[in-house]
Amino acid sequence: MKNSEFSDIWILAEQHNGKLLRISYELLTRGMALAKKKSCKLCAIVFSSGVENDELEKLIACGADKVISVENPQLEHFLPEPYSACMSDLIEKYKPEVILAGATSTGRTLMPYTAMRACAGLTADCTQLDIESATGNLLQTRPAIGGNIMATIKTPDRRPQMATVRPRSTKPSEPMKNRKGEIIRIKPNEKLMLSRVKYRGFIPLEEKHGIQDAEKVVLVGRGIKKAENIAMARELADCIGASLGATRDVVDRGWLSYPHQVGLSGKTITPKLYIGLGVSGAIQHLAGMQTAETIVAVNIDPEAQIFKVADFGIVGDIFEIVPAMIREIRAKSLPVSVTGST
């Protein structure tokens, strides 16, 4: 089949209990930028037992030109085989040129399975997406070789071009007035619902630290030097009502547990305020926090990479600067409030 027979950008909109998840709107942000460059339509695909029309209309208001809602009781919860069978059926029928999904448990399972069935290329955990002007190919950028380089990958010979994107690596699309679009509801063939896996239940992870949803984060890097010094960072976090985060170095040393880890192998965060203490700014870490609204970095090394993305940089000893910050905040007896980026 010729590449010219494929068109349009698709995103996989995820739902839980009939409500669309944040990742759906983040992917619309990515998809709109690509569709604009390709001068094509943006389509959102939803698998469910049935989503209310008002919920689907939100996808159109936030950027989708078309919504395809595939509905069957077997699709209420994610199951790899029926989801993949339905997506493969849609690919054969509609021939999308690009399919984007979140690097969630659903996206990371469904996309490789479907790419294999479609004999298509897939790039996982992308941090940037673009369209190559000369060819129209999707440019898929992600850290490689342990995060030491950024690799840009193309799939010139196969369609669809498929990629997963880290959750919270971009802002969700906001509703726009007077947007119009098409909603198509599909009842898939029952043969596509065959599954060797049965859904038995869901037990949510009760994560104590909740760093992904925090509006303010104080994050420690290797410059904290030893576990005992983390108490200082925790005190600063308590003063401003922030969550405490860490780089991989800190977690690998056992100074903080994995739920605190931010970066390529940890969490992606988008707080209103990020304060990095002794953070060098390795590529792996930047991939997990560079979309924070306001970034404050404190590091003794003026050449630290973190300063390249920081809104405010303080070159100095964190063991002198952080106690001074704590004293000033306590003297004013006011929590730090950040309403936007600088």
Contact (CB, 8 A) for 74 and 195: yes
Do 229 and 189 lie in one domain? The reply is: no
Q: Is the pLDDT confidence value at 284 over 90? A: no
CATH at 279 = 3.40.50.1220
Nearest to 87 by CA among 46, 53, 127, 58: 46
Which residues are registered as beta bridge partners of 217? 243, 274
pLDDT attached to residue 336: 55
Distance of alpha carbon 239 from the chain centroid: 29
Distances (CA, A) of 44 to 3, 55, 263, 291: 21, 12, 28, 24
Residue 206 lies in a domain: no
- Domain boundary at 163, 193, 223, which? 193
Residue 100 lies in a domain: yes
How much of the chain exceeds pLDDT 90, in percent?
69
Do 156 and 255 lie in one domain? The reply is: no
Burial letters 304-320, b for 16+ CB under 10 A, else e: bbbbebbeebbeeebee
Kindly report the average pLDDT of the chain as a whole number: 90
- Domain boundary at 142, 162, 193, which? 193
- Domain boundary at 131, 166, 193, which? 193
How far apart, in whole angstroms, are the C-alpha atoms of residue 255 and residue 27? 35
Instruction: Show the domain range for 49.
Output: 3-193
Q: Is the pLDDT confidence value at 103 over 60? A: yes
Instruction: Give how many domains the chain has, as a whole number.
Output: 2
Residue 200 lies in a domain: no
| pTM (predicted TM-score) | 0.75
Do 45 and 168 lie in one domain? The reply is: yes
Mean pLDDT of 196-225: 82
Q: What are the backbone angles phi and psi of residue 100, rounded to the nearest 5°?
A: -115, 140
Which residues are CB-contacts of 177 (< 8 A; sequence separation ≥ 6)?
none
pLDDT attached to residue 209: 54
Residue 132 lies in a domain: yes
Mean pLDDT of 275-292: 89
**Weakest mean pLDDT among 97-111, 203-217, 242-256, 328-342:** 328-342
Per residue in 120-140, pLDDT tens?
999 998 888 999 988 989 999
Residue 240 lies in a domain: yes
**Weakest mean pLDDT among 62-71, 129-138, 326-335:** 326-335
Q: Is the pLDDT confidence value at 341 over 50? A: no
Do 140 and 263 lie in one domain? The reply is: no
Gyration radius of the chain's alpha carbons: 22
Q: Is the pLDDT confidence value at 329 over 50? A: yes
pLDDT attached to residue 147: 61
pLDDT attached to residue 205: 59
CATH at 147 = 3.40.50.620
pLDDT attached to residue 211: 84
Do 179 and 228 lie in one domain? The reply is: no
Nearest to 217 by CA among 261, 266, 272: 272
Please give the full DSSP string across 264-309, using - where no structure is assigned.
TTSB----SEEEEES----HHHHTTTTT-SEEEEEES-TT-GGGGT
Considering only residues 189 and 203, tell me which one the structure prediction assigns the higher pLDDT.
189
Q: Is the pLDDT confidence value at 20 over 80? A: yes
pLDDT attached to residue 342: 38
Do 156 and 236 lie in one domain? The reply is: no
pLDDT attached to residue 184: 95
How far apart, in whole angstroms, are the C-alpha atoms of residue 51 and residue 47? 9
Residue 23 lies in a domain: yes
Mean pLDDT of 163-168: 89
Please give the full DSSP string across 178-189, using - where no structure is assigned.
T---EEEEE---
Q: Is the pLDDT confidence value at 334 over 60? A: no
